[in-house]
Each structure stands twice: as structure tokens, then as C-alpha cells.
Amino acid sequence: MAALSPTSVAGLKPPSASLRLPRRVARKPRAVAPRYAPRRLSSSGRSSLSTARRGAFSHLTRSIALPPSLSRAVITPNQPDALYHSSDRGDKQISATGASLKDWSPSSWRDREALQQPNYEDADEREAALTEIANRPPLVFAGEARSLQAQLANAAAGNAFVLFGGDCAESFAEFRADGVRDTYRVLLQMSIVLMYGAGVPVVKLGRMAGQFAKPRSEDLETIDGVSLPSYRGDNINSSEFTPEARRPDPQRLVRAYDQSCSTLNLLRAFSNGGYASMQRVSKWNLDFMEDREKGKEYRELADRVDAAINFMKACGIDEETTPSMTTTDFFTAHEALHLGYEEKLTRLDSTTEEYYGCSAHFLWCGERTRQPEGAHMEYFRGVSNPIGIKISDKSDGDSVVSLVRTLNPENVPGRITLISRMGAEKLREHLPRLIAAIEAAGLNVLWVTDPMHGNTVKTDNGYKTRPFERVRDEVMAFFEVHEQMGTHPGGVHLEMTGQDVTECTGGTAEVTIGDLELRYLTHCDPRLNASQALELAFLMSNKLAGMKERGAIGKAR
Ligand code: PEP
Ligand code: CO
């Protein structure tokens, strides 16, 4: 199995804190108050950041202490590798980022029952495709995943907000540079709007460059008495309802890897090559709101954001003087569902001698595959990436606590993100008890809301859709519940696109049920279109601004 070479890891520009507001505009930093009594030692470790850069961003440096048993160092968002200055982690039952290594290997999941895997007809064909994947380079580097974990730890402590967004399922047919660019651009616009409201950095993660495999409730789909294997994502089979299209084809895994690679290449170029420039990104397209009552309100907020950027420019903070005005961190995430594929991209990081899932920076486990004894939990336990777990209204506190403990036995900050997906009403009823259970157990998690999967409805004309107003209500309920509980609403996880699709109804642009047939392009679940996504960001920004004023966000709580 190929190992990441130390030079390739060290040679990467180290990801630093996301789009940063400069010192005079940003909040004052606050040290994170960890729940366990930490032993904090100096952060005098190796860092590849130049002194100049470190100085420029020091306002965002927050110390995050690790449990005493784990580390003798302090990590900061800008110094992820400070994690590895400790030399006394014993016989490594736990990785430095919190993975549980006892009796674990990238293939130990094979001894457990793996749900939601395709049934390939030909084992040789499957093995040949997996060998091809194993011989390809990793898509991401371990150092980047560690940087993300440090930023997520910062968010869990109340000092950042996290924005996940992208397709429900990426597709081969819809893959275009323009599509990647448009989704990326809307995510950046949303993050500026959110940063303005919340007054904290926004960590950006795309459901992109690997989000192909889909869990399905039935193995077979039956139409007019004919049953065929369900469509499981373009990396497995094709959505047309014919026996040939629905046959799981292992070569699709290789094609999905290649598409992920091209997508990631573009995302890296956009993030570092000038496309992420604040001046450029804030060229808002608000035409959709013109002549509408709500539009005026959003336009005013956009004008205030522009004024803040112009003010910074007047202070001499512009694209020439400040790299953070033109570059940004952008991370990738997907559901690690197809375990054969994930295993083959799980690589040993030679800096730390620990395994990372190198198919994306962040991997999550879906609602349907998180059985404690199942294969997916076994895989997730030992990879050193930051990981997410989807939870629903049916989850009970004790089992969520137990899952978090299994995946993060030393309670390392930033390792676990709990992504709730309940629907607005159910969230108000069930999220408080789950927060209470996690708090009572003293567990360090990042709370994120997925307001999509609990709000799907089927229309009379046969479309799966999501009313924008229900999505909005779940996000607002999430904020309100956390404010009541005194915990941090750490982020939002959206299915969205930069394209002008008609998949979710409502919003200021008023997509009607009749409009759904116009541009219904998703290969799986309905996505917010560009204007609905931006509108949601404006609404969240206003809400977060109010919470910030009340002291409910932006500080360690
Ligand atoms: C998804 O995020 O696309 C998904 C299938 O989610 P869940 O596991 O929450 O249903
Ligand atoms: Co989905």
C-alpha cells in the first residue's frame, strides 16, 4: 500500500484558517475551555508557516488542548502538525487525532456485516478495479485532514461555523467545470455572508470530489412488475431502468476516482489561484430577488458586506497586501459508504505512521450504516480523519454517546461531528435530549444540522422535493435549541448546487410544484438552487448576528 511521503505532505502549502477577517475587524481570540482539565504546554513545535504568515494570522490562533494522556502539545488551527510533537503516546492504541487503533486495519471491517454494498456479479472484475484504485495516488494528504480537524475543534468550541454543501450524488453525466465552479462560488458567497453575521471564521467543506455512493431503502426497485437492482450512485450503476444500466459495474469506481481527481484539481486551483478573491466573490447575483419584498432586505445586507470589504481595502487590507483576501481553505467530504473503495484509498501517513482515508478530508457515516457492530463503524473507528455521524429523531442518547466513545475514546476535539437530520418539529422535540446526553457524558462534539433529509416530500406529480420553508425552519429550530441549551450550533450541511435547478419548492424565487419538471436534474435527492442557498445564508446570517449580540455564539461556552 502506498505511503504518503513526508516531503509530499510537508511540501503542501499548509491550509490555514478559512477566509479571515483581519485583526481590526475580527473578534478577539479567546482560549478554548476544554472540558477535561488539560495539561497545556508550549506550542513551540515545528511549523511550516513562515513567521510572517503566522504573525499575520495570529489573531485567529486559538489554543486547543488535547487530553493529557494524548498529547504534550497544543494545537492551533494554523499548526495542525503540532499534534505530533508528543513523543510519548505509548504503544499507540489511539492515534494522535483520536482514532482507535487496537486490532484495527484498513481491512478489519471485512469481518463484520457490511450493509448497503453492491452485489458485483464477477469477483475477479471487482478485485481488478479495486487493485487499480489501490495503485492510484491519494486524493488528499494527511496533513490537510489534521488541519481540518483543528479547525473543526475550533468550531466545536464555539469559535467558528462550518458550512457543508454540494450534490446529494455527483453524477458522470452532469460533470462540467462550470458546475463545479458555480457550486464553489455560491459556497464562498454563503460563507462570506455567514462570516459577516456570525463574526467567526467559516470552515468550508464541499460534498464534492467523491460524493457518489448512495444508501437505498430497498435492494430492488420494481416498476410494472419488473424488479431490478436499485440505483446506488454513478460509481456503482446507472439510473436508467434497464438490466444493463442497473448492473453494478466495478469499473465505475475507477471512473468516480478519476472524476473526483479532476474535481479536486479544479477546487484546489480555485482556492489558491485567485478565484476565491473576496472582491470577485462578492459580486452578488441578486436579480432573483428584485421587486420582491424580501429582496430589499437581502440587498441591504449584501451592501453592508460590500461596505465591510471596502473598508478593509481602505485600511490597506486588499488582494495585494493580504493573501487571505484571495485564497481560502476548501475541504472535501463524502459518505464513506463503499468500503472496498475507501479501504483501497486508506493510506499510511509516513509522518505519523497512522492511517488516513485519503479519498476526502472528512468522511461521514450515514443514518443507515451506523450499527455499532457493523462494518462501517469498524472502518471509521481506525481512520485518523475527522469523521461525521448522521443522527435522526429515532436515535437514543445512550447509543449516540456509546458510538461517540467508540470512535473517539480519548475525547479528542474536532474528531467527531454529529449531523442531525430530523425535520423542524422533530428536532425541537428530540435534539435537546441528545444534546443533554452528550453534555452529561462530557463529550466533545461539533453539532451540525442537515435540514434536508428530514424534510423530503413526494408531490402528486411524482417528484421528490423539499419545501424551502421547511429547510429554513429546521435550521432556525437548530439555532434556537442550541441557544436554549447553551451549546454551540456549529454548522449546516446542505444539498445544494450553484445551478438554477427546480428541485426544491419555495424561496423568494417561488419555485412551484408545477415548476419542478422544468429543471429537475438531480440524480438522487432534491437540492437547493443557487438563489435558495444564498437566501438561506442571508437568513442564517441575520439569526447568527442576533445570537452573537446576545453572547450566544463566538466564544467558548
Ligand atoms: C445523504 O447525506 O445524502 C444521506 C443519504 O443522508 P442520511 O444518511 O442522513 O439519510
Ligand atoms: Co441526499
8 Å CB contact between 465 and 145: no
Q: Which residues pair with 334 in a beta bridge?
A: 363
The residue among 57 and 502 whose pLDDT is bigger is 502
Res 440 pLDDT > 50: yes
Domain extents in the chain: 6-62+137-215+250-276+327-556
> In sequence order, what are the residues at sequence separation of 6 or more whose Cβ sits closer than 8 angstroms to the Cβ of residue 136?
257, 261, 345
Inter-CA distances, 289 with 181, 226, 286, 292, 298, Å: 22, 46, 6, 6, 8
Architecture of domain 6-62+137-215+250-276+327-556: Alpha-Beta Barrel (3.20)
- Please list, in sequence order, all residues whose beta carbon lies within 8 angstroms of the beta carbon of residue 189, skipping any fewer than 6 positions away: 281, 282, 284, 534, 537
Range from 40-49, 199-208, 212-221, 515-524 carrying the lowest mean pLDDT: 40-49
Q: DSSP label at 70?
A: T
Q: How much is the pLDDT for 555?
A: 58
Assess whether pLDDT exceeds 70 at residue 45: no
Query: What was the pLDDT predicted at 279?
Result: 73
Q: Which of 68-77, 212-221, 536-545 has the lowest mean pLDDT?
A: 68-77
- Is the CB of residue 539 less than 8 Å from the CB of residue 477? no
Ligand 1 near 453 CB (within 6 A) = yes
Query: How many other β-carbons are positioned within 10 Å of the β-carbon of residue 312?
Result: 18
The span from the CA of 459 to the CA of 461, in Å, is 5
Q: Say what the pLDDT of residue 498 is.
A: 94
Q: How many CB atoms lie within 10 A of CB 43?
A: 16
Average pLDDT of 366-390? Answer: 98
The residue-averaged pLDDT of 144-154 equals 98
Residue whose CA is closest, atom 6 of ligand 1? Answer: 366
DSSP string, 184-233: HHHHHHHHHHHHHHH-S-EEEEEE-SS------S-SEEEETTEEEEPP--
Among 391, 393, 431, 413, CA closest to 402: 391
Choice among 25-34, 452-461, 497-506 with the minimum mean pLDDT: 25-34
C-alpha cell at 11: 511540501
Instruction: Report the DSSP beta bridge partners of residue 370.
Output: none
**225 CB burial (10 A radius; 0-12, 13-18, 19+):** exposed
Ligand 1 atom 10 nearest Cα: 367
| Pocket probe mutation, ligand 1, options 170, 419, 450, max atoms within 8 Å of Cβ | 450
Residue 451 and residue 289: Cα distance in Å, rounded? 23
pLDDT digits over 203-245, tens only?
999 999 999 999 999 999 999 999 999 999 999 999 999 999 9
Question: Which pLDDT tens digit goes with each residue over 125-134?
Answer: 999 999 999 9
pTM of the model as a whole: 0.85
Measured by CA distance, the residue closest to atom 3 of ligand 1 is 168
Q: What is the mean pLDDT of the chain?
A: 84
Ligand 1 and 67: CB distance under 6 A = no
Specify the pLDDT at position 89.
52
pLDDT over 70 (residue 18):
no
The C-alpha atoms of residue 429 and residue 195 are separated, in whole angstroms, by: 29
Of the listed ranges 262-266, 313-317, 344-348, the one predicted with least confidence: 313-317
Across residues 299-308, what is the average pLDDT?
87
Q: Which atom of ligand 1 is nearest to the CA of 390?
A: 9
What would the grid cell of residue 229 be?
437492482
Atom of ligand 1 nearest to the CA of 207: 2
